[in-house]
Amino acid sequence: MRQINNYYKKINFLLFGFFILFISSCSSTKTNVFWVNSIKTECPVSVDKEQCISISGSDETDNAVWELFPQDIEGFIFDFGYFQKIKIKEKDLKKNKTPNDSSLKKYTLIKSLAKKKDPRINLNDIWTPNRINQNSISTKENSPQIEIKLSTMQVFGSNGCNQFNGKIERITSSDIQFGNFSSTRKMCIDMMIPNLFDKAINASVFYKVNNTQLTFFDKNNNETINFIKKD
């Protein structure tokens, strides 16, 4: 009888051990659902300016607060210009099984839930001004132009005299916020258009894209510059 009791005690002990192991393994894995931004940004620590995805737990993508996600998601394929809503599995890894510079978490795609085109991508082109402050300007060889490159969140071009470049700090489907521009310092014979262009672009905070036209507006919703897409 004592041997039988000892046998059942061992069995119960083993079953309890397996139960604890099962519970601990389950608790180290969880699932998350979020949107992936359509545009990558520079990773927080990157020697070669490596690009990282950013994510948001918001229901909608417009005006969402994006958070950098500097890790790979196994099975996920980024598609520039498209928001993707995904469900992923997050698994804790054992510290002694990962290199010192590796994450202690592994992320795996479970399912793609939704995908939609980002309207901001319509800005991603080269544009020449058609109007400044609602006044038409003549196009010529040295007329201003602007190139918007959303993959690096940069803007650069010419005001008709000097070359400039800068960063896009924030952009939604209707709002745009430029950082400080750096520029060359030439003095041209006629500085009227370059000066008007500089003042107008610095005042621009809203935009609207209609086919081949891009229009910027100031904080009072007054038109600052109307562009046409360069062929």
One domain, residues 224 and 138:
yes
The pLDDT of residue 31 is 93
Distance CA 98, CA 83 (A): 31
Mark which of 78, 100, 117 sits at the end of a domain: 117
Mark which of 76, 100, 117 sits at the end of a domain: 117
**Domains in the chain: how many in total?**
2
Distance CA 45, CA 15 (A): 46
One domain, residues 197 and 128:
yes
One domain, residues 127 and 217:
yes
Q: Is residue 17 part of a domain?
A: no
pLDDT digits (tens, 9 = 90+) for 63-118: 788 999 988 999 999 999 999 999 999 998 776 555 554 568 899 999 999 999 99
Q: Is residue 38 part of a domain?
A: yes
Question: What residue numbers bound the domain in which 111 lies?
Answer: 30-117
pLDDT for residue 20 is more than 50: no
One domain, residues 223 and 129:
yes
**Contact yes or no for 151/137 (Cβ under 8 A):** no
pLDDT band for 16, please (50, 70, 90 cuts). very low
Distance CA 158, CA 137 (A): 15
What are the tokens at 54? 């950013």
